[in-house]
């Protein structure tokens, strides 16, 4: 298991490092240079709306609702623990959930360091500090919110080891780290195909953490699905609310309408 973690982390690190970390963003500013903890109500509302209607929030949230119906949660959990279709055993599943989570969290730090924050060392250090504090806040709020919900819900784990099953902290941390890395990758200069591949890989690894918690009999499916939605929502909300980075030219979202929901693609010029 240790070798797996080292090899995968090394591969991801080398691939990202190829992109380099010099230069500035498309607006001529450094990553993190415009980060601010000042509260702007309008900006926070837009950030919250965008983060909530992001498919990475809505899809797992809808899944959590579906699994909460009847005893689908328990049935799926029992099936996963009996068959271990991905990880072969409970112990393997728990080990992989730790390893994949650790890799994602390390990558979030690495990608933040490799974003373009200017050539001057003083400017670079100040920008990294400001941006890093916002990203740390996003991760910390995710962890704190998950812990609060665990205390409030008091749900017993599938293996009866405790009453803090909902939501999954491993999963919320993994999806928070994946969201941080995927946002950072957007600002690192590299081939678009490579960037997309890394972003997909991060999402797959975070999903692997979630399923490992189910297969390892530590959580029910609704626990990990809600954890994924929570990690994605809070992280993207705080990044959009306080980083002040250039906005996406193309944005995908899922929005409510009178007929139900609409998937929309918006373009900025």
Cis peptide bond upstream of 167, omega within 30:
yes
Q: State the first-to-last Cα distance of the chain, in angstroms, to the nearest integer.
A: 47
Predicted pLDDT of residue 27: 81
* Stretches in the chain below the pLDDT threshold 70: 1-22, 248-269
Predicted pLDDT of residue 268: 40
Task: Single out the residue of 150, 200, 194 nearest to residue 171, CA to CA.
Answer: 150
pTM above 0.75, yes or no: yes
Instruction: Name residue 256's beta-bridge partners.
Output: 261
Distance CA 185, CA 115 (A): 8
How many other CB atoms are found less than 10 A from the CB of residue 197?
12
Question: Over the stretch 230-261, which tens digit does the pLDDT of each residue have?
Answer: 999 999 999 999 999 887 644 554 545 444 44
Predicted pLDDT of residue 12: 55
């Amino acid at each position: 298991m240790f070798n797996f973690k080292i090899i995968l982390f090394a591969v991801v690190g080398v691939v990202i490092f190829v992109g380099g970390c010099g230069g500035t963003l498309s607006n001529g500013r450094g990553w993190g240079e415009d980060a601010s903890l000042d509260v702007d109500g309008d900006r926070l509302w837009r950030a919250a709306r965008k983060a909530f209607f992001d498919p990475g929030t809505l899809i797992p949230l809808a899944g959590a609702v579906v699994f909460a119906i009847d005893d689908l949660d328990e049935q799926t959990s029992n099936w996963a623990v009996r068959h271990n279709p991905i990880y072969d055993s409970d112990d393997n599943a728990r080990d992989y959930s730790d390893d994949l989570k650790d890799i994602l969290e390390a990558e979030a730090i690495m990608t933040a360091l490799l974003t373009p924050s200017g050539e001057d060392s003083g400017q670079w250090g100040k920008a990294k500090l400001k941006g890093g504090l916002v990203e740390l806040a996003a991760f910390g709020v995710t962890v704190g919110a998950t812990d609060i919900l665990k205390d409030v819900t008091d749900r017993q784990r599938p293996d009866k080891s405790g009453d803090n099953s909902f939501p999954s902290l491993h999963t919320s941390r993994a999806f928070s780290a994946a969201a941080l890395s995927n946002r950072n990758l957007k600002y690192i200069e590299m081939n678009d195909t490579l960037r997309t591949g890394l972003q997909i890989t991060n999402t797959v690894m975070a999903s692997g953490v979630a399923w490992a918690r189910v297969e390892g009999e530590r959580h029910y499916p609704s626990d990990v699905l809600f954890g994924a939605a929570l990690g994605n929502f809070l992280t993207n909300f705080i990044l959009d609310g306080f980083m002040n980075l250039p906005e996406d030219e193309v944005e995908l979202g899922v929005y409510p309408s009178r007929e139900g929901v609409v998937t929309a693609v918006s373009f900025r010029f």
